[in-house]
A and B are shown apart, each in its own frame.
Chain A
Amino acid sequence: MTPSRPLLSRRNRLHIARLLVLTLALFLVLPERPASAGANLIANPGLESIAGDGFPVCWEKSGWGANGHTFEVSADAHSGARSMSVTLTTAGQGDRKAMMLEDTSCAPNVTPGHQYDLSAWYKSSTPNTVMTVFRHDVAQGWVYWTDLASLPVATGWTQQTVRTPQVPANTDQIVWGITIYGNGTLKTDDYTMVDATQPTPDDSCSAGDKCVKGDWQVMPFDSAVRGIHAVVLRNGDVLLIAGSGNDPDAFAAKTFKTAIYKPGTGRFTAVPTPEDLFCAGHVQLKDGRVLVMGGNKDYPAADGGHGYKGLKNSYIFDPATSAYQRVNDMTAGSWYPSATVMGNGDVISLGGLGEDSHGTVATQYFSDAQQRWLGLNEANQTWNFWGLYPSMVLMQDGRLFYSGSHVFGNGTPGSGSSIYDYQAGTIAPVPGLRKKDERDQSMSVLLPPAQDQKVLTLGGGNIETNPDAHRLTDIIDLKQPSPAYTAGPPIPHGKLTGGVAQTGDQGKMYVSAVLLPDGKVFETGGALHNRADPVFEASMYDPATNQFTPGMATDPVPRGYHSSAFLLPDGRVMAVGDNPGNGTFDMRVSVYSPPYLFQGARPQITGLSSANWAYGSANTITVDKPVLKAELIRPAAVTHSSDPNQRFVDLPMTVNGNSIDLNLTSNPNLAPPGWYMLFVVGTNGVPSVAKWVKIG
């Protein structure tokens, strides 16, 4: 400041006035100019030019389903003389939307990797609206991309702005519009689309190898219990369930163990464990308590007279009291059952072994509202045997995708993968999974973001025929009308005991895949044969490029049977367990720091408007630096390479400087209710530490 400086001279003011008049003249003379800093990429954004069909040039009437609807050009405009109006009178199925024409001259051109602020003025009498984006893929043509944000009801003209995620590779144009799917009228006007790409800081990494490979540390203490089941709790602690821990002597002595591990302090707290929860299923309920189902009723008879027997018992572990509380029994014994939380917070459990050690064919349904397992006749039954720990991933329409990933067994029926519609009671095969009978202890993950509805299945073996575990990966896009697995890139080769390099088709079973906050998938651990021959290999899979980056740092501890790896709220990955055939159990804990933790300062979430988020809402956070993206990651509940609830839900951003509104999907099937880790990722690619947020 220079307070002594005199006011502007008359000549200065005249000069400014002249500039201002010139500016005004330019605004009036020049055609269509954006109000914001960057160029508006939309053709006919104010909808003032009308085409021969009576609808605005470069816009079309779009939508699907049987619903009563009208499209109009309205004189009720935000500016100018026209807006577009869509009215739904008998909503129910499908939607309607005024969309930009999927046409090379109308659709805005985009650059892969860039982000765009999409904005429109609107009035809406229904909350059932959403901003929807399609992209032009240079290979596939026009395809659905994503839904960005719900628009609140507005009686007066209101502006909604949302930033797209980074434009995917092979995309040269996008079109977008606002979808209405409830009864009411939606008017829109004055669309803008502006490149909002932020510069990437060129922070140089000085951590050597860690910059690209990351770094493992083996903790200087052992786990207090055999880490067979691991659940990340809503307070950031880790619940490690062993039960008898695959130790028949502990079973005979009724020594059942659980411990809470606090990553911050490295401390373990013992939890009294009411039954042998070894081989149970587990999933977080919407209030953050953990539903544990089934377990080990008995080990196999020494004379081979019977195999493992499943418990019917079920418990809820409450992080607030650090205690298990019994709920009613399941309808059938469940040794190695699946557990998937549904969009309404209920839980469906399938497969496993019953009290008689034979296959459990019941669909077991836990009602969140009633806090009990429904009776056999209260739930829809198909009487299908799904095998052990079948990986059942919740789809965006509420059906379950059986990825084909499972534990044990030899010879899965049909194509080895299917879509299960609980409501209809039907099962429809899904083709394309290679080596379907060598997917024992493979791992499946719903790839980031959940909105993309793609599942990756990695590796696997067969404990009965005991071949070399393979390195195949298969990917499925559940957005397709007829989804089918297609071949993905092979898992990179690793090293076996003694440093022997893997060759040919050698891959891994007992593999772990962990969704990271930067949107990549960390693949680690595994072994080549039935409870033998650990594979020392880790790689980073990028869903955006469909490629593995090989040569990540490897966990020095073997991680085969009964091992797991999972994301901690601080962005690191923790790994526990290994139970080779000789009957030993590795109690070491290792923690991986991914490369992003060496690449610059972490963004801070400095404010959170609320920790309780409703579906379809915008939730304000403040951050201390520019942010590339934000997402919710559901905390792990993993065992035996199986965590079908693991998901990464993108949160499209409305950016106002350091204040960012995060738009949560309206669809609970994309983000089932519960506690999630909220991460933001800085423009340097470094994620924040998570804040905990409760959805639904």
Chain B
Amino acid sequence: MSRTRLAALALAAVALTAGVGWVSLTGNDPGTIRTTSVAAEGGLPDIAPTPGGPGTDPGAGPAAPGAGGPGSTGQTRELAAAGQQAARAPARRATPAPFVQPFAGQPGVTRQKPKRKPTAPVKVAPTVDGCDRSYGTIAQCVPVRFPPGVTDKCAWLRDHGFPALKVTGPDRQGLDPDRNGSACDE
């Protein structure tokens, strides 16, 4: 801020406050009137932004390449966007290219490259959900492993609202000592 500008501001302030002072009947102290910057801005060209909206084509901006389509990179889209904005109507606010920060470069970290397409399936155990399919219905879930400290599994199951369970496979957890096909039924 230069003194010249301050002088201009002050003059504007004088003009404004004087006007206000003369018209106003409330007698404001001119020292507290805070309209100087507004007064100074009054004569400047107004290039206020038009708020984004339907006028801005959402599909044409750099948002389309955005995070990069299957083949683009972050760097090229900025250039593309810079070119696009020049073609826009001057009255419209041009959409800036995405401003992307150079974070998380992970220097020195070895990156795993694409693997070969596997010929054998990646095996996932049928018990992936942690349920022992030997007991009860598929909707029920006798845990393949009971929580730490559980000594009486049937008591635990009863406490957790399990009814007597049909044994549908090998009795891995020993819940059917009488081998009648029904677990925890004693």
Contact = CB atoms under 8 A, between A and B. Distances in A.
Contact of B113 (A46, A422, A425, A664): A425
A307 B127 contact: yes
Interface in A391-442: 394-399, 408-409, 419, 421-429
A394 B27 CA distance: 59
A419 B104 contact: yes
B183 interface: no
17 contacts: A28-B6, A46-B1, A64-B102, A78-B5, A147-B101, A157-B44, A302-B138, A353-B128, A379-B70, A381-B114, A383-B116, A385-B122, A428-B109, A428-B110, A479-B103, A582-B161, A696-B66
Contacts of A246: 139
B147 A27 contact: no
B99 A130 contact: yes
A696 B53 CA distance: 10
Central interface residue in B30, B62, B139, by most chain A CB within 10 Å: B139
A182 interface: yes
A369 B71 CA distance: 14
A179 B102 CA distance: 14
Interface in B113-155: 113-118, 121-131, 133-134, 136-148
Contacts of A152: 47, 49, 93-94
Interface in B148-180: 148, 160-163, 168-169
Interface in B4-19: 4-11, 13-14, 17-18
Given A80-B4, A468-B147, A581-B142, 16 more contacts: A19-B30, A94-B102, A127-B95, A128-B97, A152-B47, A190-B1, A302-B133, A357-B124, A383-B118, A421-B111, A532-B143, A614-B58, A615-B63, A666-B95, A666-B98, A669-B66
A480 B162 CA distance: 49
A248 interface: yes
Interface in A301-316: 301-308
A351 to B, nearest CB: 10
A37 B38 CA distance: 12
B49 A33 contact: no
B166 to A, nearest CB: 10
B74 A429 contact: no
Nearest to B12: A35
Interface in A448-507: 453, 463-468, 478-483
B147 A529 contact: yes
A197 interface: no
Nearest to B170: A304
Interface residues of A, number: 160
Interface stretch (A101-109, A341-349, A517-525): A341-349
A-B pairs, top 3 by smallest CB distance, nearest first, are: A617-B52, A80-B2, A463-B130
A421 B105 CA distance: 11
B126 A305 contact: yes
Interface stretch (A235-243, A266-274, A358-366, A589-597): A358-366
Main secondary structure of the interface of B (DSSP, over half): loop
Contacts of B162: 581-582
Interface stretch (A8-16, A53-61, A216-224, A257-265): A8-16
Contacts of B115: 382-384
A50 interface: no
Given A359-B121, A581-B142, A378 B70 contact: yes
Interface string B9-41: 111011001100110010101110010110011
Contact of A612 (B44, B47, B58): B58
A266 B102 CA distance: 47
Given A127-B85, A308-B129, A299 B58 contact: no
A126 interface: yes
A480 B68 contact: no
Contacts of B124: 307, 353, 357-359, 409
A647 interface: no
A68 interface: no
A94 B105 CA distance: 13
A74 interface: no
A620 B53 CA distance: 10
Contacts of A179: 99
Central interface residue in A40, A144, A409, by most chain B CB within 10 Å: A409
Given A5-B25, A64-B102, A307-B128, A80 B143 contact: no
Contacts of A13: 21-22
B112 A91 contact: no
Contacts of A93: 75
